[in-house]
Amino acid sequence: MADAGPDNVAQTARNRAKIAVFISGGGTNMAAILYASRLADAAYEIVLVASNMADAGGLELAQLEGIATFVHSHKGHSRANHDAAMEAAAKEAGADYLVLAGYMRILSDEFAQRWQGRILNIHPSLLPKYKGLNTFARAIEAGDSHAGASVHVVTPDLDAGEVLAQARVAIARDDTAETLGARVKLAEHQLYPRSIADYVSRGSDPGHLFARVRELALALPETHERTSHGSPGFRVGSEKTGKYFAYFSDRHHGSGHIALLVKTSGMDELLNLVESQPDTYYKPAFYGASGWVGVILNRPDADWDHIAEWLERSWRSVAPARLTKLIDAADMF
């Protein structure tokens, strides 16, 4: 386990996301991620560095810096078995996220699905250009003005998940794959720690949470947005006669919650929810008195399918029958 020296104790006292970094090689990105995590106010800490290669250079550095390491060779193991061993180690270390940094193994679809939205990778090209290998040679060959690196969310499709951020690197006339690659590495070391920090902070970022709520709310039929008492709200129906079905509340009235307020069937259901799942629900000031419940969004395991269901249910409870019939018909297919 990591050595809990005085510095580490101070760091973990704050609420940092826990990441496991998977490497296969030199681990220079891992080193950049690691030293960024040692800065004051870092958003994450590394709980494990894991590798499929016993001689991966980064392992030694991780050990020197008091970080737990794990090695499991892929040789002689099926992909599923190897994945399972890596996954078990990450879980045991308490990782919330997996960060691939030069990890030269393709994860099984099942693994990628189980950690959906919680695995990041860095790829040395400006995606969607040049997925796969030999990216620098291909960029030079194509006569591109810039190469670069992309941080993306890992999905079962190789190098195809949402791109979170990119760094561009100009290509010099006399660049070789090696010289260009060396400069892209420098850019990667700036890009990756920042992207990880932004990504793991999303869940407590009101701007990000509001954007997600808005997208879901406005995807429901005949909806529009209108501010009410300083909070953004969403209504169904016409601008004139529409009714509110949701509000977004950013730590209003002294609550520490960033929340979606939606209509329950009444006080019994509201109190029942709050009592049985206090980490998910609370009774908001003012709105609570009329049966609106607060669904807490700034929690690590916020379930967005569930949030979408609440929005639809609340929308249904005030939408005119001609619209609910429409959505019923659509749901049948």
Which chain residues interact with ligand GRF by CB under 6 A?
A: 23, 25-30, 101-102, 122-124, 149, 185, 188
Decide: 143 and 63 in contact? Cβ < 8 Å: no
Give the distance, in angstroms, between the CA of residue 272 and the centroid of all CA atoms in the same chain: 30
d(CA 149, CA 169): 8
Q: Least distance in Å: CB of 103 to ligand GRF?
A: 7
Residue 146 sits at φ, ψ, to 5 deg, of -135, 145
d(CA 41, CA 96): 18
Name which of 22 and 287 has its Cβ closer to ligand GRF.
Answer: 22
Q: Least distance in Å: CB of 58 to ligand GRF?
A: 6
Give the tokens for residue 143.
């006569």
Say whether 137 sits in a helix, a strand or coil: helix
Q: Least distance in Å: CB of 61 to ligand GRF?
A: 11
Name which of 185 and 208 has its Cβ closer to ligand GRF.
Answer: 185
Decide: 47 and 21 in contact? Cβ < 8 Å: no
- The amino acid at 297: L
From 72, 82, 123, 252, the catalytic residue: 123
Name which of 103 and 244 has its Cβ closer to ligand GRF.
Answer: 103
Decide: 259 and 273 in contact? Cβ < 8 Å: no
Decide: 146 and 170 in contact? Cβ < 8 Å: yes
* Beta-bridge mates of residue 42: none
Residue nearest to ligand GRF (CB): 102
Decide: 317 and 245 in contact? Cβ < 8 Å: yes
DSSP for 176-191? -HHHHHHHHHHHHHHH
d(CA 60, CA 63): 5
Q: Least distance in Å: CB of 184 to ligand GRF?
A: 7
Q: Least distance in Å: CB of 102 to ligand GRF?
A: 3
224 catalytic per annotation? no
The maximal CA–CA distance of the chain, rounded, in angstroms, is: 73
Name which of 59 and 258 has its Cβ closer to ligand GRF.
Answer: 59
Q: Least distance in Å: CB of 100 to ligand GRF?
A: 7
Name which of 150 and 223 has its Cβ closer to ligand GRF.
Answer: 150
Name which of 104 and 308 has its Cβ closer to ligand GRF.
Answer: 104
> Assign residue 148 a region: left if phi > 0, alpha if psi is -120 to 50, beta otherwise?
left
Residue showing tokens 């529409």: 242
Q: Which residues are catalytic?
A: 123
